[in-house]
Structure 1
Amino acid sequence: MKKYSSILLILIICALNTQDLKAQFRFSNLFGGKDKPRKNKLFEPNSNVSLGIGTSSYFGDISPYNRFLQSTVNGMRWNVNFNFTRQLSPTFGLRFGLTYARISGDDNYLEGVKGYEANFIRNLHFRNDIKELSITGQYDFVRTSRSYLRRASIIPYIFGGVGVFAHDPVAKPQASLYGNDWVRLQPLHTEGQGLPGYPNAPYSLISVSFPVGVGVKYRLNRNWDLGVELSYRYTLSDYLDDVSGNFANSADLQAQSPLAASMGNRSLEKIAAHTGKDRTQGVINYLTAKGFYDPASPYDPFTLTSIPGFSDKTDLRGNPKYNDSYLLTTVKLIYHIPNKIKCPVVR
């Protein structure tokens, strides 16, 4: 019954539209005028939606910018995204996007890399799941005349805009002491943020990003495209990795909790919590080069109370000059939403 009711409703709407057109025709003839065909629009605005999946790479204090290729590969993780685009002109569209991306980094990737010995000794790692809402403008290099149905087979484009995202960095503690579960880092005040005697407040878990990128769309059929996209997000946060400023005094973190002290300074951990690698030889090599260890009188370096340069509020833990960012690559399936629902022909 519902099926027939729906068909009847469609037929009534079509009939009313037909009668309306006839009425307009007769009304114009009363004044001696002739019906003039309606001008075709130069372009019909249209909409499309897309679903994509791809990779993500982070750049910051743990994955250095000046090792761009290595940082891109070493910490590569994943992203998924959904976009709604309103094509407003033959070349310009406004896009609303939702992105879920996982980023990560680990100082132990820099073991044995000249110039980054201190990064290895620092021994920090993290993982962060980013939830981003963005609005961007998209410019197509190939015009679409009148309707999306007449779009070109291949359309390259660029885009840029602004986004807001939520994040919450986590890391693994020493398994022998605290188990193997990931723990949230922001509440631990790992650089003394928010503690008495420290200048900075706890960092926000909400921040702003600026997405820019390039892409290309390939037409599959009437309503479907396949897209490939490369996008870069510069952010207003330097704490995607929980690293930015100086070390906190161990005693100040210990007063908060033993876990906070352990996560704030990890330079004397024998086993890398994330990779599971034994760090002994790398630590010995560093201490020997700095004159803190004598191979002729060997001892266990992990019995030290601290390593010079990794101990108090005067020692840099990160680099506050540069904010963090991330790079996304995406392969996506695009569906063009039909503009109008055509009425069936009445026979």
Structure 2
Amino acid sequence: MKRYHYLTAGALASLFLLGNSSDSQAQRRPNTQFAPYSSVSFGVGSSHYYGDLAGYRQFIKATYIMPRWNVGLGYTRQFTPHFAARAAFTWARIAGDDYTFNKGNINKSTESLVQYTRNLHFRNDLKEFAITGIYNFVADGRNSNVRAKFTPYIFGGIALLAHSPEARTPAGTDAGEYEPQKWVKLQPLHTEGQGQPGYDKPYSLVTAAIPVGFGLRYRLNENFNLGFEIGYRYTFTDYLDDVGGPYADPAVLTGVASKMADRRQQQFDSRYKNPPDRYAVLKDLFNAGGQSQADVLSALQTPVRGAPGSILGFLKDGYILTSFQIHYIIPGKIKCPPIK
């Protein structure tokens, strides 16, 4: 009988200990359900233009020859350990200049000579609003406090882009009755005859773009990340640079538009505050005679305003943005443990 009591007491004690052990393990077991979190970001970086004044065929040169700046703000929602979505606004400047891009190559390439002779330039301030999806290659932990220390990621999406290309009026005596070297908006001038009978309608100053790229994110501490990313934007316009087709008939151009549309006969490159003399180089080439003289005459008479002979002529204008970023992790709600 006593043995029975001892066995019963031992069994009850074992059940009690096992029960406490299970409760303790349950309390220590982490909650594996992911808690979505949000962050805001600020970034600065460089902008690089590709188009008729800096062709895709010379991608490396186009990337480094005339970089400009960008600043951006973003809001990101991390929905799963791998996937996030971001809404971002970026203000970026791009620029191009025939003189700067081709001045060292006119003796080496007919295409460079034609573009040098064309003598166009522009700048354009882009306002981009983009929605992108992000895939992190390294998964986050169950909440923002245990997110990955370091992760590369890729992104892609859709963007709406507002833009308005500008250029300087001619320098020196080429300016005529106009104020020299004043930045003016090009779209209202209809430099390719847009809006006139037999010509295309004026191009839109709002277009869509497709952003794609990759980045790196580093967890600095509980509240901040540091990041770097680089992304290409393919746009649905050929007029970020105001160049897309042939020269217009001078008869359909009036006022300053006649000076801005065809700049082949202008002596100076007007983008510079102290504009260089373009004629000196062309005169030397022309005076050399032979084929060089024929090439200069041909360049001065070409009907094509866009980039000549491009094997990638079907591509619209585009740009690359780089960005160094800081991210602030928005604190989530603090959940109090239940009172038992």
Tell me what 1:179 maps to: 180
User: Partners in 2 of 1:290 and 1:271 — Cα distance?
Assistant: 25
Amino acid aligned to 1:237: T
Tell me what 2:151 maps to: 155
User: Partners in 2 of 1:263 and 1:136 — Cα distance?
Assistant: 38
Tell me what 1:136 maps to: 132
TM-aligned CA distance change 1:211 to 1:50, over 3 Å: same
SS in 2 for 1:168: coil
The offset of 1:293, in angstroms, is 5.1
Tell me what 2:74 maps to: 83
Aligned with 1:269 (options 260, 266, 270): 266
The offset of 1:227, in angstroms, is 0.3
User: Partners in 1 of 2:193 and 2:318 — Cα distance?
Assistant: 23
Per-residue displacement from partner, 1:14-72 (whole Å, max 9, x unpaired)? xxxxxxxxxxxxxxxxxxxxxx9899351001101100000000000001111112111
Tell me what 1:56 maps to: 47
Tell me what 2:89 maps to: 98
Tell me what 1:111 maps to: 103
Unaligned runs of 5+ in 2: 1-25, 308-312
SS in 2 for 1:270: coil
User: Partners in 2 of 1:290 and 1:239 — Cα distance?
Assistant: 36
Tell me what 1:280 maps to: 279
User: Scaled by the length of structure 2, what TM-score is found?
Assistant: 0.80
User: Partners in 2 of 1:316 and 1:233 — Cα distance?
Assistant: 26
Q: After alignment, is 279-288 or 60-69 more displaced?
A: 279-288
Tell me what 1:224 maps to: 224
Tell me what 1:333 maps to: 326
Per-residue displacement from partner, 1:188-219 (whole Å, max 9, x unpaired)? 11111111232x11100000010001100111
The offset of 1:329, in angstroms, is 0.7
User: Partners in 1 of 2:194 and 2:252 — Cα distance?
Assistant: 11
SS in 2 for 1:328: strand
Amino acid aligned to 1:278: D
Tell me what 2:19 maps to: none
User: Partners in 1 of 2:267 and 2:30 — Cα distance?
Assistant: 77
SS in 1 for 2:251: helix
Tell me what 1:19 maps to: none
Q: Is the 8 A contact 1:309 1:315 kept in 2?
A: no
Which is higher, the Rg of structure 1 or of structure 2? 2
Per-residue displacement from partner, 1:86-115 (whole Å, max 9, x unpaired)? 101000001001000000000012113122
What is the Cα-based RMSD across aligned positions, in Å? Answer: 2.3
Per-residue displacement from partner, 1:253-298 (whole Å, max 9, x unpaired)? 1xx22x111100001111110131111122224545676859xxxx
Unaligned runs of 5+ in 1: 1-35, 295-300, 302-306
SS in 2 for 1:262: helix
User: Partners in 2 of 1:112 and 1:224 — Cα distance?
Assistant: 46
Tell me what 2:3 maps to: none
User: Partners in 1 of 2:290 and 2:262 — Cα distance?
Assistant: 19
After the TM superposition, list the runs of 4 or more consecutive aligned residues in structure 1 that deviate by more than 6 angstroms: 36-39
Tell me what 1:124 maps to: 120
1:260 aligns with 2:257: yes
The total of aligned residue pairs comes to: 291
SS in 2 for 1:284: helix
Per-residue displacement from partner, 1:112-147 (whole Å, max 9, x unpaired)? 312211000000000000001010000000001211
SS in 1 for 2:247: coil
Tell me what 2:195 maps to: 194
User: Scaled by the length of structure 1, what TM-score is found?
Assistant: 0.79
Tell me what 1:322 maps to: 315
TM-aligned CA distance change 1:292 to 1:67, over 3 Å: closer
Per-residue displacement from partner, 1:146-165 (whole Å, max 9, x unpaired)? 11211121111000000001
Tell me what 1:251 maps to: 251
SS in 2 for 1:52: strand
Amino acid aligned to 1:283: L
TM-aligned CA distance change 1:326 to 1:264, over 3 Å: same
